[in-house]
Chains A and B, each alone.
Chain A
């Protein structure tokens, strides 16, 4: 069953601005991951944050995780037109499941 829910479903910003995407989930997790999908392409892993971590950085990406609120956010700073893509959060549920469950995705458009 679907676990993550990204918010907003679509976001349009100007190049140079920051983009924040949120993900909410329902059950306890081992980790949460963010992926990017360019149009017509496969998903690319961006960052993984474990349940005992609160914040993680990778280049222009910053991910936070609040397990008490069952939510995560992905911040892309100084956005570029090349960041235009769909972004998905995916959760690895606790309890030994090997199943990574993806949210519906969020479309980010960065206008040059």
Chain B
């Protein structure tokens, strides 16, 4: 069973479109994250939720909106996509919010044309 699963794995879309990436974890963890990895492999945190409550909200354009319907799910919606949004987006989870081990999904590669 996949511990952290995210869909879709690949997204190719035009500038200006809206897209969503879904993430689910079956580890029973309390905390979930979205990270963005750019073309140089640099990994930067975007958001974190603990028990459905937003606890980290980095300087991210408000075109990005996370949503956590329950503690096992964290989705990412992106409005008005721009070329610079092209990246790999990783969902991750951890047992607690105190920066222990992170479990990552396989990533969703977003390409904006």
Contact = CB atoms under 8 A, between A and B. Distances in A.
Contacts of A30: 98-99
Nearest to A98: B97
Nearest to A88: B43
B101 A98 contact: no
A97 B106 CA distance: 25
A31 interface: yes
Interface stretch (A36-44, A56-64, A68-76): A36-44
B43 to A, nearest CB: 4
Contacts, number: 62
A60 to B, nearest CB: 19
A40 B104 CA distance: 13
Nearest to A105: B41
B41 A98 contact: no
A100 B104 contact: no
20 contacts: A31-B99, A33-B102, A37-B41, A40-B107, A42-B90, A42-B105, A42-B107, A43-B43, A43-B92, A48-B101, A92-B98, A97-B99, A98-B99, A99-B45, A99-B48, A99-B99, A102-B35, A102-B44, A105-B41, A105-B42
Contacts of B43: 43, 88, 102, 105
A100 B102 contact: yes
